[in-house]
Amino acid sequence: MALVGKAVRPNFRRALTIIEVVVALLFLVLIIGICLPALTRTGGRGSGYRQIKDGTMIRNVIQAMTIFAQDNKDTYPLPSMVDVNNQTLSIGTPGDSASQRGKDTSNHILSILIFNSSISPELLYSPAETNASIKIFSEYQNSNPQAAAVPANAVWDPALRCDFSTGAGHTSYAMLMPSGDTAAAADAPARGRLKSWSNTFNATEAVFGNRGPLITGKDAKGNPIYNKKSNTMAIHGGRTTWEGNIGYNDNHVNFETRMDPTEITYKRAGGGTHPDIFFYDEPDDADGLNTCLGIWVKAGMLPAEFKGVHD
């Protein structure tokens, strides 16, 4: 009897032809062409994440400033008022905080918060940072800082730097210029911008946020004049426009799309109000209370004594 076997089907896979490969590649290019413009407009998921994280970090710093103020007569950190005996820095006359206002630079103000364990050095480095000269200060000394005049009695580490134009800087963020003076009477309010360097809970007082470019003046329409190639354009904004997170005294953070939002104004000497440019000390400000944010490498009592660093 003859055996009947099953037919055996050859086991092989058909290779893709050149035409099929080309079609697949063209389809992939088409998909990329459709998706890329949308990703570019929104900055991509990574950009959005950095913006949100950046805003959260700014809010955390303001919260730390507010907690500090609750134990210090409602005033945010002011090195000249917490180091009156020159144990941390030998500037001015011991016991006379007015003569020590040169201590009130951005690095010393922020260093007080770190020394008190209210924030960490990492919190001062923006996730959207683009300047290679700004770095996290990993060598901060929380006890007996050797850069202090009397390390054992220091109340912050003076080694934290903010001047990235002469080496490494350790903060990405700008703060309100703490110019002005405290009133003679113990119970009298501060004068000048020190009125806003406090937990006033005012929703229109900007105190801390992303830094901006150097503003050299205004054009005929009142718009800020600045270097559109500034490094700060690349933090959150476009190629020639500034955008950034700005924190206010009521502890809210807003993502601003211009340096002079219409709802933030100052009083003009000639009467009326005008949009306040965040990073510019308007010379026609009648009261000297306009918003002026910066990374301050020199300080004093008067606005003219302050010097900022820009990139």
pLDDT tens-digit series, residues 240-280: 899 999 999 999 999 999 999 999 999 998 888 999 999 99
* pLDDT at residue 11 tops 80: no
**11-15, 102-106, 167-171: least confident range:** 11-15
State the Cα–Cα distance between residues 175 and 299, nearest whole angstrom: 12
25 — pLDDT class (breaks 50, 70, 90): confident
* pLDDT at residue 6 tops 50: no
Single-letter amino acid, residue 288: G
Region class of 222: left (phi > 0), else alpha (psi between -120 and 50), else beta: left
Instruction: Please give the model's pTM, rounded to 2 decimal places.
Output: 0.83
* pLDDT at residue 22 tops 70: no
Looking at residues 204-213, what average pLDDT do you find?
97
Q: Which residues contact 291 (CB under 8 A, 6 or more apart)?
A: 176, 205, 206, 264, 266, 276, 277, 278
pLDDT attached to residue 23? 65
Q: Which residues in the chain belong to E strands, given as ranges?
A: 173-176, 206-210, 215-218, 224-226, 244-248, 253-256, 265-267, 273-275, 293-294, 296-298, 307-308
pLDDT attached to residue 207? 98
State the Cα–Cα distance between residues 247 and 234, nearest whole angstrom: 19
pLDDT attached to residue 288? 83
* Mean of per-residue pLDDT scores for the chain: 88
Q: Which residues contact 256 (CB under 8 A, 6 or more apart)?
A: 243, 244, 245, 246, 278
36 — pLDDT class (breaks 50, 70, 90): very low
